[in-house]
């Protein structure tokens, strides 16, 4: 007879999860080396389907040439493309940066606004990017940043069954205290990078191994 299936554990209790993550990653923070809201906005756009490490390498030269929205809005597209070539999808991202900067100058005097609604009105800026800027540059808790790590871990831990980032965010916002929305994203991102890998999660050595339901992960992992 086949061995009976092991009962799936319930979702991790959110308070326990937050306590353990904060203990494991006391220095969790935004990995992009930004210096103001505009630089973070630009770097977050560049970070799409790219690594923060690579964006941090590109950023100094980029901002030395175009330090603010007005300068970037006036830059020639081929020059922007050349400057960000290593970031991947450089043509699409160069256009996004150019259009975003022009919108920023025309609508907000070159300074990134402080509301979600205004930020997403900029071309090339979605909800995730807006949440990154608001939470990290302005300290405004407008939502939970749901990147690939946050989405993957939220499902594995049983916090959500959703696949759509916006729906995942809405569910996490109900579970996590508002004061920790930005921090919670950083904590999950750190855990996703260091332990809960997409293909080979290190469950046997994970400090959540005793409580994680490991949804979608082999129990023997």
Residue 128 annotated among the catalytic residues of the structure: yes
**pLDDT digits 0-9 by tens, 5-58:** 556 789 999 999 999 999 999 999 999 999 999 999 999 999 999 999 999 999
Question: pLDDT averaged over the chain?
Answer: 94
Same domain? 156 vs 93: no
Q: In total, how many domains does the chain have?
A: 2
- Classify residue 213: in a domain, yes or no: no
Residues 6+ apart with CB under 8 A from 36: 137
Structural domain range at position 171: 14-28+144-205
pLDDT at 221: 41
Task: Say if 9 falls within a structural domain.
Answer: no
Q: Of the candidates 137, 163, 182, which is a domain's last residue? A: 137
> In CATH, what number is assigned to the domain containing residue 179?
1.10.1670.10
Residues 105 and 128 in one domain: yes
DSSP string across 11-65: PPPHHHHHHHHHHH-TT----S--SSHHHHHHHHHHTTTS-HHHHHHHHHHHHHH
Mark whether 165 and 110 lie in a shared domain. Answer: no
Is residue 38 within 8 Å of 56, Cβ to Cβ?
no
Q: What is the mean pLDDT of residues 78-98?
A: 96
- Residues 118, 43, single domain; the answer is yes
Same domain, 193 and 151: yes
The catalytically annotated residue of 128, 178, 197, 200 is 128
> Which of 158, 189, 186, 183 lies closest to 171 in space, CA to CA?
158
Report the pLDDT value the prediction gives residue 127, as an integer from 0 to 100. Answer: 96
Q: Which of 147, 164, 178, 197 is catalytic?
A: 147
What pLDDT does 74 receive?
A: 98
Residue 192 lies in a domain: yes
In-domain check, residue 102: yes
């Amino acid at each position: 007879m086949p061995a009976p299936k092991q009962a799936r554990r319930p979702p991790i209790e959110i308070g326990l999860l937050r306590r353990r993550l904060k203990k494991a990653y006391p220095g969790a923070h935004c990995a992009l080396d930004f210096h103001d809201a505009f630089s973070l906005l630009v770097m977050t756009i560049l970070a799409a389907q790219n690594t923060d490490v690579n964006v941090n390498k590109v950023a100094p030269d980029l901002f030395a040439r175009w330090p603010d929205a007005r300068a970037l809005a006036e830059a020639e597209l081929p020059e922007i493309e050349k400057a960000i070539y290593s970031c991947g999808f450089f043509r699409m991202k160069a256009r996004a940066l150019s259009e975003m900067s022009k919108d920023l100058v025309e609508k907000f005097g070159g300074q990134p606004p402080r509301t979600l609604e205004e930020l997403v009105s900029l071309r090339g800026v979605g909800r995730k990017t807006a949440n990154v800027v608001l939470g990290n540059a302005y300290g405004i808790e407008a939502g939970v940043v749901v990147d690939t790590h946050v989405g993957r871990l939220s499902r594995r831990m049983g916090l959500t069954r959703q696949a759509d980032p916006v729906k995942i965010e809405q569910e996490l916002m109900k579970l996590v205290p508002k004061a920790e929305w930005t921090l919670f994203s950083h904590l999950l991102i750190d855990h996703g990078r260091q332990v809960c890998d997409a293909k080979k999660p290190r469950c046997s050595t994970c400090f959540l191994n005793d409580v994680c339901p490991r949804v979608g992960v082999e129990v023997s992992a």
